[in-house]
Amino acid sequence: MYNSSLSSWCAAQKGPRRDVIGELAQAVRARGLHFGLSSHRAEHYFFMSGGRQFPSDVRDAKYASFYGPAHPGATRENQWDGHPDAAYMDDWLARTAELVEKYHPELVWFDWWIGQKEFAPYLRRFAAFYYNDGAHRGSAVAINYKNNAFPEKAAVLDIERGQLEKSRPLFWQTDTSVSNKSWGYIENDTFKSPQSLIWQLVDIVSKNGSLLLNIGPRSDGTIPEPVQQILREIGGWLKTNGEAIYGIRPWTTSGEGPTRVLGGAFNDTKTESFTAEDIRFTTKGTLMYAIALGWPRDGRLVVRSLGASSAVRVGKVDLLGSSVPIAWSQGPDGLALELPANPGGHFAYAFRVTPAR
C-alpha cells in the first residue's frame, strides 16, 4: 500500500499507482491526528501457502516476491511450524524499517506471528532503530505487540477484540472494530452499538489501557453512514465526559459492580450488559471520577468503594454535563448520591469527585 524501494509489488507501481500510505499520512496529519501503521509482513511467510496445494501462481517462481515464500510448513491452521531463514528475516527487517524511514509513524502495530522465535533478535534491532529514530525527531513513538512477542516494558501489549479483567500496572491497548464481521468495508455488515463501545472504552481506560477503534471506509474513502452515526454518538459522549477519559490515570481499583468482564482476545462481545451498579474509576490530579455504566431507576446511586473508610474524603460531587447540584453523603456503606431526573441517552455517567480540603 506504499511506495516501496524493495519490491515492485506495491501500490505505487501496480494498481492505483499511488502512494496510498503517503497520501493517508499527509491527510491524517493535516487534521492534527496521530498517524500509525500496521504490519502483517511476518505472516507473508506462510499466508498464501494454500496456493501450493493446487495449480496456481503461488507455485510460479516469478511471483515469489509477491506471494512471499508461501512456505508449506506453516499455515494458518498449523501456524507455529514455520522457521523463517535469515534471508527472509533480513528482508522483513528492511521492509519494516523502510516504513519508519519513509512515513515516520507514531505507532507501529504488529500481528501475532512476530512471536515466532526467529523474530526475537530482529525485533530488538527494529525497536532500537524505531525508538532512536523517534527520539532523534523528537516524536513519541510506540510499538504494539500481541501475546509474548516483546518483553513487557519494551512495547505496548495489544488485546485484539478483547480486554483485560483487571487493571494492569503497565499501559496496554485494545484494538477492535465498529464492525462485527470485518476490519474493512463489506456489504450487509453489522455494527457494535455506541453504548457497547462507550462501555468498553470506559472499562479499558479505568484499567490503564486505551482503545484503538477501527472503521472500514468504502473504496472511494467515504465512511458508511451507520459508522458515521456511531462515531458522532461516541464523540458527543466524549464532548460531555472526556474530562474523565483524556489525560487520566487509573485509581487503586478500576471499578466495582456485579458484571464480570470476560478477559482475553476475541471476547469483546461476550460480556453481559452493564448496570448502574457497575462503576469505573479514573483520576486526574486530586480529582476522581466515578463513571456509572447505567442510571439507577430509583435515582439513588451508591459508590461502595468510596465509603467512610476510604482514603478519599469527599468534598463535592458533580455530574459532568449537568449544572444540577448532586446531594451526597459519605457513610460506612459508600458514597450515596441522590440524583436528578435521568438525563437520558448518555450511555454512561461521569461523576467528578472533588476531595475535601
List, for residues 255-269, the tens digit of each pLDDT value: 999 999 999 999 988
Distance CA 353, CA 318 (A): 7
- The three cell numbers of residue 260 are 464480570
User: Which percentage of the chain shows pLDDT scores above 90?
Assistant: 87
222 shares a domain with 178 = yes
Instruction: Judge whether 146 and 152 are in contact, CB under 8 Å.
Output: no
10 Å CB burial of residue 261 (0-12, 13-18, 19+) is: buried
Give 223's contacts (C-beta < 8 A, 6+ positions apart). Answer: 215, 217, 231
Kindly indicate the confidence band of residue 22, based on its pLDDT and cuts at 50, 70 and 90: very high
Give the domain-ending residue among 211, 228, 244: 244
Per-residue pLDDT tens digits for 166-220: 999 999 999 999 999 999 999 999 999 999 999 999 999 999 999 999 999 998 9
CA 189 to chain centre: 21
Mean pLDDT throughout 217-243?
A: 95
Helix then strand then coil, % of the chain, to nearest 5: 30, 20, 45
Where residue 314 sits, what CATH number does that domain have? 2.60.40.1180
Mean pLDDT throughout 6-26?
A: 96
Instruction: Judge whether 142 and 107 are in contact, CB under 8 Å.
Output: yes
| Overall number of domains in the chain | 2
Q: For position 191, what pLDDT does the model report?
A: 96
199 shares a domain with 255 = no
Report CA torsion sign: 198, 157, 206, 257: positive
Range of the domain at 317: 250-355
User: How many other CB atoms sit within 10 Å of the CB of residue 316?
Assistant: 12
The long-range contacts involving 19-22, CB below 8 angstroms and separated by at least 24 positions, are 21/99, 21/103, 22/102, 22/103
10 Å CB burial of residue 2 (0-12, 13-18, 19+) is: buried
Q: For position 131, what pLDDT does the model report?
A: 98
Q: Is the pLDDT of residue 343 over 80?
A: no
Give the domain-ending residue among 244, 264, 280: 244
Residue 191 lies in a domain: yes
Q: For position 171, what pLDDT does the model report?
A: 97
Q: For position 353, what pLDDT does the model report?
A: 98
Which of 251, 277, 237 lies closest to 353 in space, CA to CA?
Answer: 251
Report CA torsion sign: 24, 25, 29, 34: positive
Residue 8 lies in a domain: no
- The three cell numbers of residue 206 are 479505568
Per-residue pLDDT tens digits for 40-79: 999 999 889 889 889 999 999 889 889 888 888 776 666 6
Per-residue pLDDT tens digits for 297-315: 899 999 999 999 999 999 9
Q: Which 3 state secondary structure label does DSSP give 275?
A: coil
228 shares a domain with 133 = yes
254 shares a domain with 196 = no
Where residue 123 sits, what CATH number does that domain have? 3.20.20.80
Instruction: Judge whether 37 and 21 are in contact, CB under 8 Å.
Output: yes
Q: For position 346, what pLDDT does the model report?
A: 82
Give the domain-ending residue among 223, 244, 265: 244
Considering the chain, what is the average pLDDT of its residues? 94
Q: For position 262, what pLDDT does the model report?
A: 92
Q: How many CA atoms lie within 13 A of 260 on its CB side?
A: 3
213 shares a domain with 73 = yes
Per-residue pLDDT tens digits for 117-136: 999 999 999 999 999 999 99
State the distance between the two ends of the chain, measured CA to CA, in whole angstroms. Answer: 56
Distance CA 110, CA 123 (A): 11
